[in-house]
Structure 1
Amino acid sequence: MLRTRSVESRDLDLICEHRQKMFRASGKPREEELTTMHLPFREWLGPRLADGSYFGFIVENEGDVIGGIGLMVIDWPPHPSHPQDDRRGYVLNMFVEPDYRGQGIATDLMKMADAEFQRRGICYAILHATSKGRPLYEHLGWSGTTEMAKQY
């Protein structure tokens, strides 16, 4: 039986593990980059879990965690897409264990994210999609943007 609950501070290690698995599944970062990221991410996440600025949902099946999603409200200047709001919703760390994919769990997590952002008065949200995740997000009404990146 599936059960969904809110992310809690005790989920620190679990979220760190999901993040590693999520990036590993994307095939993009090298293993050494994941290793290098682990401790700084954990140190970044801890205080945000504690103060509630990182929130989200965890899905369990008979006590075993099978997926989760992280959410944040980030400071952002008013923009043509949200001209009177100085915030954006941000979706991160979406992960479903491989044995449970294709069962609608990711869809349900995204719908919970939408509802939570709406409850908080957020009118615009962003995420970074892998090629595997893009069809799900597009099906749920998300569209691509013109974002680019540069690493220094």
Structure 2
Amino acid sequence: MKSGRKTRHLASFLAFYEGTPVGSVSVQLHLLPYPQVLKASISKPGYVWSVWVEQEFRGLGVATKLMSKAAAYLKSRGCTGIVLHSSKAGEALYRSLGFEPAHEMRMTFGTDDLNAANISSERGT
């Protein structure tokens, strides 16, 4: 945790109602899956994860306030933008805050996936 806070600016923010936590969000510098070739002043994305609000507190602005804190924190750490992966339920909130959808594709490997995709290690592909 200490290392993450130092090297990745890891932080979490909590929302409370009458002493009880009702929401949270966590942030860090985004771990890119490829080498960073641009200067941090041009591209230094932050990453938001684990946005959560108790069911009975949803729609009351809790997530908006948490996201505002998260964005301000990342900006104060020199981030030039924010990346997050949204659930369907969160899309409207994030769009209202200025986020735009980005295209991502995934593949999950199973035991028959390689055969089904006609990929053969014997052919060298």
TM-score range (shorter-chain normalised) is 0.7 to 0.9
Q: Does 1:88 align with 2:55?
A: no
**Pairs aligned (count):** 101
Q: Any conservation in 1 of the 2:41–2:78 contact (CA below 8 Å)?
A: no
Name the counterpart of 1:125. Answer: 82
Equivalents in 2 of 1:100, 1:78: separation in Å? 42
Per the TM alignment, residue 60 of structure 1 is displaced from its structure 2 partner at its CA by 1.0
Q: Any unmatched runs of 5+ in structure 1?
A: 1-47
Per the TM alignment, residue 83 of structure 1 is displaced from its structure 2 partner at its CA by 8.0
RMSD over aligned CA atoms reads 1.9
Aligned AA for 1:128? H
Which one of 21, 30, 37 corresponds to residue 65 of structure 1? 21
Name the counterpart of 2:122. Answer: none
Q: Any unmatched runs of 5+ in structure 2?
A: 110-125
Aligned AA for 2:11? F
| Alignment TM-score, normalising by the size of structure 1 | 0.61
SS in 1 for 2:68: helix
| Alignment TM-score, normalising by the size of structure 2 | 0.73
Percent of residue pairs bearing the same amino acid type = 29
SS in 1 for 2:30: strand
Map 1:1-152 onto structure 2 (within 5 A): 48=1, 50-51=2-3, 52=5, 53=8, 54-76=10-32, 77-78=36-37, 84-85=42-43, 87-152=44-109
Between Structure 1 and Structure 2, the one with more helix by share is 1
Equivalents in 1 of 2:91, 2:59: separation in Å? 14
Q: Any conservation in 2 of the 1:90–1:125 contact (CA below 8 Å)?
A: yes
Aligned AA for 1:139? S
> Deviations for 1:77-100, whole angstroms, at most 9, x for unmatched residues?
246xx8833x32110000000011
Q: Any conservation in 2 of the 1:78–1:84 contact (CA below 8 Å)?
A: no
Larger Rg: 2
